[in-house]
Amino acid sequence: MVSLPAAVVVDHFNSPDGGQVATISNGSAGNSNDNLQTGLTVLGGSRDIFLQIQLAYDWSTICSVNVNGITSKDELSIINGPNLDTMCRLTWDANSSGLNTNLSADYEFQVLNVYTSHPVAFTITMQTFGGGTSTQTINTVENYVGNVTFPFSGFAGGVTLADVDSISLRIDGARATEIALDALVTVPEPTSAGLALLGGLGLLIRRRRA
């Protein structure tokens, strides 16, 4: 079986150098933002992190989001304290100017190499500025390991796939949850990917005959 290549890499979580962190600690309620906008090798050049405590049983514990840190290179990791339910939302929108990305030749998002210690809800939202919004949620189970797939046919709403301006990934985790993932990508239609593969094989055969 031939694995399909990524059509669009939204984020490999391999920048910035030195990492990007949002943390809520020391008993503080509320939200944490890390709106790093430049110097990122991500779609549109911007990744906004928003971390929020949804429910707290004990404010003395800590929750944090870490991208490309010392202990988690080239990945996103989320750690909830033993008494905190959190929501983390990542947004890619080219610094609010719009991605202007054409996903009409693709058929699904894949969140790659996911690990969740407890059940987690992953939600992807696509938006066309001035147009529609489409949302889909996938739930993982305890000690899940693998990819999380969002087929485009499962999105509710009316985003214009030929002009996606904003993509967000919302991650809802319960107490003491550990979450890690390596990338968010789109995958092309199997027919177009197969044709591209056949074309490449044809070129290779012709070169060998030459």
Count of domains in the chain? Answer: 1
Sequential DSSP letters for 60-89: TS-EEEEES-SSSTTSEEEE--TTEEEEEE
Q: Please indicate, yes or no, if residue 1 is contained in any of the structural domains.
A: no
Q: What is the pLDDT of residues 167-210, one digit of tens each?
A: 999 999 998 999 999 999 999 987 654 544 444 444 444 444 44
- The answer to whether 47 and 67 are in contact (CB under 8 A) is yes
What's the distance, CA 104 to chain centroid? 19
- Tell whether 3 is covered by a domain: no
Question: Whole domain around residue 187: which residue ranges?
Answer: 8-209
Residue 132 included in any domain = yes
Virtual CA dihedral for 62, 114, 101, 103, nearest 10 degrees?
-150
* CATH at 205: 2.60.120
Specify burial of residue 105 (Cβ count, 10 A radius: 0-12, 13-18, 19+): middle
Q: What is the pLDDT of residues 41-100, one digit of tens each?
A: 999 999 999 999 888 887 678 899 999 997 789 999 999 988 888 999 999 999 889 999
Does residue 29 lie in a domain region? yes
In this structure, is residue 2 part of a structural domain?
A: no
Considering the domain boundaries, does residue 160 fall inside one? yes
pTM over 0.75: yes
